[in-house]
Homo-oligomer: A and B are copies of this chain.
Amino acid sequence: MGKGQAMETALKASNAAKAGDVATAIAVLRQRFGDRLQTGEAIRRQHANTITWIPNQPPDAVIWVETGEEVREIVEVARTHRVPLIPFGAGTSLEGHINAPFGGVSVDFRDMNKVLAVNAQDLDCVVEPGITRKQLNEHLRDQGLFFPLDPGADASLGGMAATRCSGTNAVRYGTMKDNVLGLKVVLANGELMTTARRAKKSSAGYDLTRLMVGSEGTLGVITELTLKLSGIPEAISGGVCPFPSVEAACNAAIATIQSGIPVARIELLDELQVKATNLYSKLTLPEVPMLFVEFHGSPAGVAEQSERFGEIADDLGGGPFEWTTKPEDRTRLWQARHDAYWAGRGLRPGVQVIATDVCVPLSRLAECVTETQREIGAHGLVAPIMGHVGDGNFHLTLLVDMADPAEVKAAKILCERLVERALAMDGTCTGEHGVGQGKMKYLAGELGAPALAAMAAIKRSLDPDGIMNPGKIVAVE
């Protein structure tokens, strides 16, 4: 069955369900939640995919929840009436994770954003899923602590866990799988499951925490997170370093990792992305491939690391590496890096933006990026590239005029070929965006039929009625 057909079948099922159960479920939930349940079209559309070319598939209703117990009540109603539930954090996901292809109820966590505990001595905290990373770091700053993951968007922590997100700091601090100590999750049977306690490590049974991280709401709804925290580094140094080619920049990243320098961030911007960034952020960087680099540690440590990185860059024909420990200079640069997505958009205002990512073994990174650049050029497309290259992970910001069918077709071919290329290099179809709807078709090619069958078996075992964010990650009969 092709993708189009599958979508059509799904939509029919959705319409069928709407006629019966959803109306009853919404009536019951409206009784309970009053004005906190909304069914207006604008609100429903805002709670489905809006920022990529995946079609907007709105839920039937949206509820703003305030407690985990409320989530449990909603699950009970959903289970009784076999209605899909779609958890909603900040709505910044990119692969249609928040769409409602079978209709159902969107559960909005905006108002569940409390910090429940900060255990400074243990370097951990307990939060509700709706808190965003900026809100959390604002809360933590006075205690000299921070939550290091930085996906660019001001995503919610619940959403970050659900999509196994990472970002610019992952090369040093790991991804969400490494920074979630434990979760509370409402399962499809209405039970509240604790996945782990606060010990820093445990070998007590199946790793339910890691099973839930990255499950995109398809196995349960996260209602509480215990997160690892890090101390704000004593010193931070950072700067930018130009390179004669993307290849030289990637090789500098590889050499940095291999030589054991504990780089905190090492971000590639290709020529076009640098140009976009200069325009958007009013910088005057040379328009060549650039690495944005940052080191965390003691003052002596970050100075030593910065110098060693400068030597590596020099050996590869790059540089000069201009670095500083002055917060104002660093902040300006990293603000520009964080605005790279918006800068990219600025290259062709008004067109559709497709943000996609892949991740490959480090040794294949330069080849993967340069081949991708070549293909972008061959199609005459506009697509700046930036990447978390210490992890072998990079992003395309494809700018597509949806009114031009030939361009849309070329963009689709480019995206398909990008994934094929990454898989041929033993990489993954997504380093940090997740599968959602958009990348379901690639999973079998990446992991094979036995892994997909195992995922489907796990999905059925924990969600036999298929009410938990159906139509994402893995298809279940």
Residues of A within 8 A of B (CB): 119-124, 163-166, 170, 174-175, 177-178, 187, 191-208, 210-211, 213-215, 219, 230-231, 233-234, 254, 257-260, 262, 297-298, 300-301, 304, 308, 359-363, 391-393, 422-423, 426-435, 439, 442-443, 446-451, 453-455, 457-458, 460-462, 473-474
Smallest CB gap from A254: residue in B: B121
Asked if B450 contacts A199 (CB within 8 A), the reply is no
Q: Decide yes or no: A208 and B362 within 8 Å by CB, A392-B200, A428-B197 being known contacts.
A: no
B393 near A205 with CB under 8 A, answer no
B119 with A363: CB separation less than 8 A: yes
20 A-B residue pairs with Cβ-Cβ distance under 8 Å, sorted by A, are A121-B254, A121-B361, A170-B201, A177-B207, A192-B450, A193-B454, A197-B427, A197-B446, A202-B430, A203-B433, A204-B434, A204-B442, A205-B435, A205-B443, A205-B473, A206-B455, A206-B458, A206-B473, A300-B304, A458-B458
Residue in A119, A120, A198, A432 with the greatest tally of chain B CB atoms within 10 Å: A198
Kindly state the separation between the CA atoms of A289 and B422 in the bound complex, as whole angstroms: 52
Q: How far is the CB of A68 from chain B (nearest CB, A)?
A: 13
- Chain B contacts for A177, CB-based, 8 A: 207, 210
Give which listed residue, B201, B260, B450, contacts A230 with CB less than 8 A. Answer: B260
Interchain CA distance A473-B435 in the complex, whole Å:
31
Do the beta carbons of B446 and A204 come within 8 Å of each other?
A: yes
A230 to B257, CA, bound (A): 10
- Taking A207-B177, A207-B214, A454-B462 as contacts, is the C-beta distance between A202 and B122 under 8 angstroms? no
Nearest chain B residue, comparing its CB with the CB of A165: B203
Contact A448 B194 (CB under 8 A): yes
